[in-house]
Structure formats: C-alpha cells, structure tokens
Structure 1
C-alpha cells in the first residue's frame, strides 16, 4: 500500500485491504460448506462488525438472513468498562436456528462471553462465532471461535469498522493507531 494512502494517525498498517478480502473469501467458503444444508442467521455486532458482516455475507454463497445487535462495554476510550448493555436487540426469533455471531474483534472476550450466554438462552440449534480479529494476549476469558480471520498483537487498532472515539471506521485496512492520538 503506498505511503500516501495511510492516514496520518496510523503508525503502521497491520492488515491490508487485500489481505482482509482474501481471508474473508476463505472464511465465506468454509461457512458455505459448513452450513450448506441449513444456512445460519448471521448476527452482526454493531457498530464495528458492519464491514466484516457485509463482506463476509457476500463471500458466503448461501441465502443467509442477517440481523444486528448492539451491545456496549466500551466508552469513548480504549478500555472495556466491564458493564454490558444491549443497545439494540435482534428483530428475529433465533429459536431452533443456527446462529453465526459476526464480530470485528475479540479483545478481552468479556462482552462476547456475555453475548454468547444471552443468545444461547434463546434456544437456538447452535451458536458459533466468526471474527476478523482476535487479540490472544488481551484475552481475559477463553472464547471458542469457529471462524477466525487473524490473530493480532495487543495493540490499539483502527479501520475496517474498528474505531477510536467513533472515528476511523471507514479506513479500508486495519492499522495501529499512533499512541499520541489516544494518550495525548
């Protein structure tokens, strides 16, 4: 990626637009194969998963239904608040259906652990997770991820749906945010 296309607040690009597209295409093929007989309802976690959900759904050669949830455990900073709130619940009934949670990133895993328990309490056939990114060194709980894009270092990343204070989501790559932006 030419240096001129990198946002000035980005220290370095961790994953290029092409690397992301290639990996989501692979995951899409795997999901289509795994759910060929009974497509899942894909549940995107707002707001970060918008890009991942759109591209993953297009890469999955199935007639999938999509729905959205918004849960929050983050404020405007860089650390989890530890409190999970549902800001937007599902519109669809997931009982007796396969559910595929689509995430942008798994950090501590605390929010996702709560979300898994919440969705499993609604009587689905199965609940699996697809995430673009996972930070193994930041994990506070173990989360079983069926479809993983990339393991990344425990750095503050932005782009491709990931934000800092609701900005940078539109960058087409995943980059490491300069410390001066959030510590300054």
Structure 2
C-alpha cells in the first residue's frame, strides 16, 4: 500500500517517508537503546494513540529484558496543537528506581513531552529518556532531553504510520505530508 496521494477528510497528502526509511531509523534508535542500557531491564512507557506502530516496531529490535505500559494524552485538534494537555489514560506502573524510556511518535512544540517528563520524573525513576520517531526542531518551545530521535523533520503536517488527521490515516505503513 503506497498510493501516490491520499485524501483524509478535506485534505490532500503526498508521499513523504517510506516504510523502508522508517524501519532504518527505528533500527538505529533501538540499537542505541540496546547499547546504552546493556545489562539493565527497561520499562517502555508508550504514549497512545500515535506511538503504537513505532513502539511495536521499536520493541521488535530491543534485545534487553523489558516491560511495556501505556499512557494516553491528547493535545491536538485537527492539524495543530491546542497547547492544552489532557491526560486521558493514566499510568499504573510504579516508576521509582526503574529505567524508563518514554516512547512518543512526534515531538513538535514539546508541550506534551514537557508535561510527561515532569509527571513521570516526579516518580523518581533511576533514569528517564525519550525515544521519539519524529522531531520538528523548528517548532520546539521547550528545552528537552531528547536522547533518541529517529528523524528530524520540517514543520509539515504528516500522517501515516500511527499519526492521524482527526482519526484517519494511522493505518498507512508510509508517512504522508500535507499538500
């Protein structure tokens, strides 16, 4: 499935990144995590909904003992961030003294990530790092410790590979850019 364009709601999208490019970036991130955390057990905290595909593929490359749990937050409406974070589904795992990797699909303004790092950091994990598939450096409004970044991208609206436009487009294996 690699159409030359897709239409979601009233918006057109063109191909941007292939599944092959995504796989290579994810393998690179996983390799760095495996190396950095050799001999330790990890807890991956996956931010839903957008990160589910990235997390699944990332974890296929992790060779360390690990656990996975999920948290759901919302900060988008349509194609732009609302700037307001609403925690929808809370974390149930104990983080104190554990090595935690927060898995996010995309960091743009950094509002959501700042809130999550503050919230999770308050539980005193042994370490707390971020693995994000995409980073929009020109949008970033917060200084964040983003140790594992798959692909820096420009400030374009993208869908596919877990990212959506008002609920549609998550199912595409490639990433598409708004026209």
Instruction: Please say whether Structure 1 and Structure 2 have the same fold, judged by a TM-score greater than 0.5.
Output: yes
SS of equivalent residue, structure 2 residue 161: coil
- What is aligned with 2:93? 92
Structure 2 regions of 5+ residues with no counterpart? none
Say whether residues 1:122 and 2:123 are aligned partners: yes
- What is aligned with 2:47? 45
| Alpha-carbon distance in 2 for matches of 1:16, 1:113 | 29
- What is aligned with 2:109? 108
TM-score, length-scaled by structure 1: 0.90
- What is aligned with 2:134? 133
| Alpha-carbon distance in 1 for matches of 2:91, 2:99 | 14
- What is aligned with 1:174? 175
- What is aligned with 1:158? 159
Shift of 1:7: 4.0
Shift of 1:137: 1.2
Shift of 1:91: 2.1
Would the aligned equivalents of 2:19 and 2:174 in 1 still touch at CA under 8 Å? yes
Say whether residues 1:6 and 2:20 are aligned partners: no
TM-score, length-scaled by structure 2: 0.92
| Alpha-carbon distance in 1 for matches of 2:118, 2:82 | 19
Deviates more, 1:24-33 or 1:109-118: 24-33
SS of equivalent residue, structure 1 residue 29: helix
SS of equivalent residue, structure 2 residue 6: coil
Size of the alignment, in residue pairs?
Answer: 175
Shift of 1:22: 1.2
CA deviation profile, 1:46-80 (whole Å, cap 9, x unmatched):
000000000001111112100000011223x1222
- What is the correspondence of 1:53-64 to structure 2 with a 5 Å cutoff? 53-64=55-66
- What is aligned with 2:71? 69
- What is aligned with 2:80? 79
Structure 1 regions of 5+ residues with no counterpart? 179-184
| Alpha-carbon distance in 1 for matches of 2:80, 2:13 | 20
- What is the correspondence of 1:14-53 to structure 2 with a 5 Å cutoff? 14-53=16-55
Ranges of 4+ aligned residues in structure 1 off by more than 3 Å = none
Structure with the higher strand share, 1 or 2:
2
Shift of 1:131: 0.5
